[in-house]
């Protein structure tokens, strides 16, 4: 009987600007495999500079998937990504039982590695009511409603991922589950086990906070030099789209709306990116079975570690 081949998904996590892309390319070349990006901001083809999309040289160095494959005008959820990524992995594992996933979006990493919980069907009337309340009262209605119906989950978001409180789509979802089921959103979390046909080998990349912050500041300066301001200017007519409610874009929209100066906007981008990196690390440090390496760690050391996990 032919032995079953075991699949492995090398997963690289860590804060923005830490060097995940460079490491993923080194590993992809070593293991002769492809790279799946799970950076939720790099999906969109209209957002290239502000999301630090890999360069043409980097993209050519190894096969990449899920980079600039969607438009900001398309509706694309983390659930959509989960299904598309798993389908792509099934294809790629037929070619090589080792593949790589890399990115800084913790929710999207978790979607592929663990999947989502199962939630009840929500009546259309509930969804319509919430949409109308949001139109009339704004994001504050959703925030107050979640705080009322699921205070524990509201507190968790406030501490771990406060930007979610400003995301209408996700906040509507939390509230509609609470209102439609009569139960807290958090009561449905962690109840379902999703099977995966691969074993994750999770690598975390980190640096001292001051080093990490300095790398972020340098990256923002490079983005500005590469044309970030012009990129954002071209997106001004669409600034209310959900995909554009993100660091690097919101701050420059304020500049173009004459709410701040250019220098202030750039400093805000740096500060908000540093805060984002801190939240990333809070999220990723909770990821089980992760082995952390310093960003300057010799690549051979990391490759040897991964090889030791491939049985």
Domain assignment of residue 63, yes or no: yes
- Of 180, 173, 194, 48, the closest CA to residue 116 belongs to 194
pLDDT bin (cut points 50, 70, 90) of residue 193 is low
Whether residue 204 sits in one domain with residue 92: yes
Q: How confident is the prediction for the chain on average, in pLDDT?
A: 93
- Establish whether 104 is an annotated binding residue: no
Domain assignment of residue 106, yes or no: yes
Domain assignment of residue 229, yes or no: yes
d(Cα 76, Cα 250) in Å, to the nearest integer? 20
The answer to whether residue 217 scores a pLDDT higher than 80 is: yes
Domain assignment of residue 38, yes or no: yes
Whether residue 292 sits in one domain with residue 206: yes
Domain boundary among the residues 133, 168, 188 is at 188
The answer to whether residue 112 scores a pLDDT higher than 90 is: yes
Domain assignment of residue 3, yes or no: no
Whether residue 243 sits in one domain with residue 111: yes
Whether residue 132 sits in one domain with residue 222: no
Mean pLDDT of 251-274: 97
Domain boundary among the residues 137, 161, 188 is at 188
- Establish whether 103 is an annotated binding residue: no
Mean pLDDT of 256-278: 97
Looking at residue 231, which CATH number applies to its domain?
3.40.50.300
Domain assignment of residue 1, yes or no: no
- Establish whether 184 is an annotated binding residue: no
Domain assignment of residue 51, yes or no: yes
- Establish whether 21 is an annotated binding residue: yes
Q: Give residue 74's domain range.
A: 8-116+194-309
Whether residue 157 sits in one domain with residue 18: no
- Other CB atoms closer than 10 Å to residue 58's CB: what's the count? 16
Q: What is the pLDDT of residues 123-163, one digit of tens each?
A: 889 999 999 999 999 999 999 999 999 999 999 999 888 88
- Of 276, 300, 172, 181, the closest CA to residue 219 belongs to 276
- Of 114, 132, 311, the closest CA to residue 193 belongs to 114
pLDDT bin (cut points 50, 70, 90) of residue 234 is very high
Domain assignment of residue 184, yes or no: yes
- Establish whether 16 is an annotated binding residue: yes
Whether residue 273 sits in one domain with residue 259: yes
Per the CB < 8 A criterion, the answer to whether 81 and 16 are in contact is: no
Q: Name the domain count of the chain.
A: 2
- Of 218, 230, 231, the closest CA to residue 274 belongs to 218
Looking at residue 179, which CATH number applies to its domain?
1.10.20
CA distances (Å), origin 195, targets 57, 115, 191, 269: 36, 8, 13, 39
Whether residue 244 sits in one domain with residue 215: yes
- Establish whether 17 is an annotated binding residue: yes
Q: What is the pLDDT of residues 14-60, one digit of tens each?
A: 999 999 999 999 999 999 999 999 999 999 999 999 999 999 999 99
Whether residue 103 sits in one domain with residue 23: yes
The answer to whether residue 173 scores a pLDDT higher than 80 is: yes
Mean pLDDT of 158-179: 90
Domain boundary among the residues 188, 207, 224 is at 188
Per the CB < 8 A criterion, the answer to whether 70 and 45 are in contact is: yes
The answer to whether residue 241 scores a pLDDT higher than 70 is: yes
Whether residue 108 sits in one domain with residue 40: yes
Whether residue 164 sits in one domain with residue 81: no
Whether residue 109 sits in one domain with residue 28: yes
- Of 38, 139, 129, the closest CA to residue 80 belongs to 38
Whether residue 163 sits in one domain with residue 292: no
The DSSP annotation for the chain comes to -PPPPPPEEEEEE--TTSSHHHHHHHHHHHHT--EEE--TTTTBTT--TTTTPPPHHHHHHS-EESSS-B-TTS---HHHHHHHHHHHHHHHHTT-SEEEEE-S-HHHHHHHHT---------HHHHHHHHHHHHHH-HHHHHHHHHHH-HHHHHHHHHH-GGGGG-HHHHHHHHHHHHHHSS-GGGGTT------SSEEEEEEEE--HHHHHHHHHHHHHHHHHHTHHHHHHHHGGGTTSGGG-STTTHHHHHHHTTSS-HHHHHHHHHHHHHHHHHHHHHHHTT-TTEEEEETTS-HHHHHHHHHHH--
């Amino acid at each position: 009987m032919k032995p079953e081949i075991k699949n492995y998904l090398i997963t690289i996590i860590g804060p923005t600007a830490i060097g995940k892309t460079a490491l993923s390319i080194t590993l992809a070349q070593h293991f002769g495999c492809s790279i799946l990006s799970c950076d939720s901001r790099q999906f969109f083809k209209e957002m290239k500079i502000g999301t630090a999309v890999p360069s043409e040289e980097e993209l050519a160095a190894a096969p990449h998937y899920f980079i600039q494959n969607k438009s900001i005008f398309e509706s694309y959820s983390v659930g959509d990504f989960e299904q598309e990524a798993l389908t792509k992995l099934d294809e790629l594992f037929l070619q090589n039982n080792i593949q790589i996933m890399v990115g800084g979006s913790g929710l999207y990493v978790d979607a592929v590695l663990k999947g989502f919980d199962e939630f009840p069907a929500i009546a259309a009337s509930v969804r319509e009511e919430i949409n109308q309340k949001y139109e009339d009262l704004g994001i504050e209605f959703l925030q107050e409603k979640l705080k009322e119906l699921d205070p524990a989950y509201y507190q968790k978001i406030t501490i771990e991922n406060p930007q979610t409180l400003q995301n209408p789509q996700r906040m509507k979802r939390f509230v509609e589950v609470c209102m439609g089921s009569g139960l807290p959103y958090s009561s449905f979390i962690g109840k379902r086990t999703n099977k995966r046909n691969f074993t994750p080998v999770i690598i975390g990349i980190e640096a001292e906070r001051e080093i990490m912050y300095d790398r972020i500041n340098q990256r923002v300066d490079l983005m500005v030099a590469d044309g970030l301001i012009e990129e954002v200017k071209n997106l001004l007519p669409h600034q209310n789209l959900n995909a554009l409610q993100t660091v690097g874009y919101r701050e420059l929209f304020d500049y173009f709306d004459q709410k701040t100066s250019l220098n202030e906007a750039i400093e805000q981008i740096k500060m908000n990116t540093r805060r984002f990196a801190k939240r990333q690390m809070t999220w990723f440090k909770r990821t089980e079975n992760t082995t952390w390496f310093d960003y300057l760690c010799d690549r051979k050391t990391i490759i040897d570690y991964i090889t030791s996990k491939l049985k």
